[in-house]
Amino acid sequence: MRGAPQSVAPLRAHLHRNALVTSTDEEVGFRSARGPVLIALMLATGLIAIESTIIATAVPSIVSDLGGFAQFPWLFSVYLLAQAVSVPVYAKLADTVGRTPIILTGIGLFLLGSILCGFAWDMTSLIVFRAVQGLGAGAVLPVSVTIAGDIYTVRERAKAQGYLASVWAISSVAGPTLGGLFSQYLDWRWIFFVNIPLCLVAAYMLRRHHKETIERTHHRVDVAGASVLTVGLTLVILAVLEGGNAWDWFSWQSLTAFGAGAVLLVIFGFIEQRAAEPILPLSIFRRRLITTTSLISLGVGAILVGLTSFVPTFLEVSAGATPLIGGLAVAALTIGWPITASQSGRIYLRVGFRPTALIGLVTSVVGAALLWSTAGSPDAILVAVSCFVVGLGLGLVATPTLIAAQSSVEWEERGVVTGANMFMRSIGSAVGVAVFGAIANSVIARSGGPESAAAVQSGSSAVFLAVIVAATLTIAAGIVMPAVRAPSA
């Protein structure tokens, strides 16, 4: 393995690149020297977090105004697709030209996409402009996490990541609320226009406060690798997202998309072996720590989408809960996450990364089991408590494993490693949507159709059981993860 996970060499290697890291600046918070950068990162993360929740409650208003009811699922799919396929490219560029130019590019694309979405004239144009937003999000999220890894020591990163995770907790409540308010009292277009001031403020603060110096050397951009990877991933993820929805799993469309995507990904592997500066160095996956933490991130993405996608429908149909109550039950998960994420440093500094992640995974399995046990007699409070327990567990998984991966490499690889982690979580979400959806639809079809509360209850129960299986399988990756202790600084 390149680098030394048990040392602070990767941290020292970056000191000359970022003046905000000092040996005496141990405080993590808004009033510290790095506080303005942390605020800017939270604002940037907030753009992505709010956008992932605010549009859901506005869909009826959008469809009423623009039409295209059959197309509206693409508002979510195309955003996820554009974000997922662009992450590896941005991650490599962040290691090549620096973090600031890439995150500012992402914010700029997200701003452009938001403005265009606000002026969309039909559903097709709105879907296209959502793809532009997704391309911006693909840069903002992983580079934000990478910058946090740059400016904070291993001891401090858990608390810093807790701040970033808290943005998702706030957005899970604020997003649906704002979406409903804008749709009911103003206009649905304001769910996109509200991003304009947030983008401008985040970009200004990052440009002003995040100082980095990059050695100006000539770089050969891996255009061929980036192009083939993007097209290949697009086809595979498209096939996963639309399989069983837009077309049958074994239709010619599905088989063609999977086959062509797989061939392109194989070609990508050959291209990367010969590239002078590969866009995604496959050699990083020869390191057991990177591979296992990426697999854990894959599982985290699947667990998240399994709960956030099915809990609201489960409560609304089976228990007669309102959409707001269903949303708040899921929000309990994103409230529990930052609580343990911010405190996970105390644990992994004492016992190591792997035991911390295993504690979190077991906790998530317990929470999912509690949720599954409530399926027979659905109750919003019990469901919220179960989701909260899952969130507590995931906070002990996602943050420590990401920090373990970041701390094992030097500055020039940290963006790629962080991007790989974020990318695998996106893949887990995409695959989870397809697999859990297929399970739910299969059970619902046998139980009397989607109009039946009992059928939806049975389908949701099957999904929650599948989440338990996914979390249990993820434990296997945690067990084989190298026993790396956190550096002391």
Whole-prediction pTM value?
0.75
Q: Amino acid identity of 174?
A: A
- Determine the distance from the C-alpha atom of residue 452 to the mean position of all C-alpha atoms in its chain, rounded to a whole number: 33
Same domain, 207 and 345: no
Query: Residue 32: in which H helix or E strand, if any?
Result: none
296 inside domain: yes
pLDDT tens-place string over residues 433-468: 777 777 776 776 665 555 566 777 777 788 888 888
d(CA 245, CA 241): 8
Query: Residue 154: in which H helix or E strand, if any?
Result: helix 154-185
Q: From 253, 276, 299, give the residue that closes a domain.
A: 276
For 282, which DSSP code? G
10 inside domain: no
d(CA 158, CA 199): 26
53 inside domain: yes
47 inside domain: yes
The number of domains in the chain is 3
Q: Enumerate residue ranges in the chain where pLDDT < 50.
A: 1-25
- Check: CB of residue 96 under 8 Å from CB of residue 126: no
Longest Cα separation, the chain: 65
* Contact residues for 374 (Cβ-Cβ < 8 A; gap 6+): 382, 383, 386
* Contact residues for 266 (Cβ-Cβ < 8 A; gap 6+): none
* Contact residues for 478 (Cβ-Cβ < 8 A; gap 6+): 292, 296, 354, 357, 358, 361, 397
Which residue range forms the structural domain that includes residue 54?
28-213
d(CA 370, CA 337): 17
Same domain, 419 and 457: yes
Token pair of 318 as six digits: 């089976």
Same domain, 489 and 341: yes
Same domain, 140 and 188: yes
Q: From 252, 276, 300, give the residue that closes a domain.
A: 276
d(CA 456, CA 449): 8
Q: What is the distance in angstroms between the CA of the first residue and the CA of the last residue of the chain?
A: 21
Token pair of 17 as six digits: 């690149």
Q: Sign of torsion, CA 313 316 319 325?
A: positive
349 inside domain: yes
Same domain, 314 and 354: yes
CA-wise closest residue to 462 among 308, 310, 241: 310
Same domain, 165 and 253: no
12 inside domain: no
Same domain, 36 and 177: yes
pLDDT given for residue 5 in this prediction:
35
pLDDT given for residue 81 in this prediction:
78
CA-wise closest residue to 394 among 351, 480, 332, 451: 332
Same domain, 251 and 317: no
Same domain, 335 and 205: no
Same domain, 237 and 315: no
5 inside domain: no
pLDDT given for residue 104 in this prediction:
93
9 inside domain: no
- Check: CB of residue 82 under 8 Å from CB of residue 131: yes
pLDDT given for residue 283 in this prediction:
77
pLDDT given for residue 363 in this prediction:
94
Same domain, 186 and 305: no
Phi, psi of 134 (to 5 degrees): -65, -35
* Contact residues for 31 (Cβ-Cβ < 8 A; gap 6+): none
Same domain, 55 and 70: yes
CATH code at position 58? 1.20.1250.20
Q: Is 247 helix (H, G, I), strand (E, B) or coil?
A: strand
Residue with tokens 């490693």: 417
If phi > 0 it is left, if psi is from -120 to 50 it is alpha, else beta; for residue 448 that is: left
Token pair of 406 as six digits: 């970041």
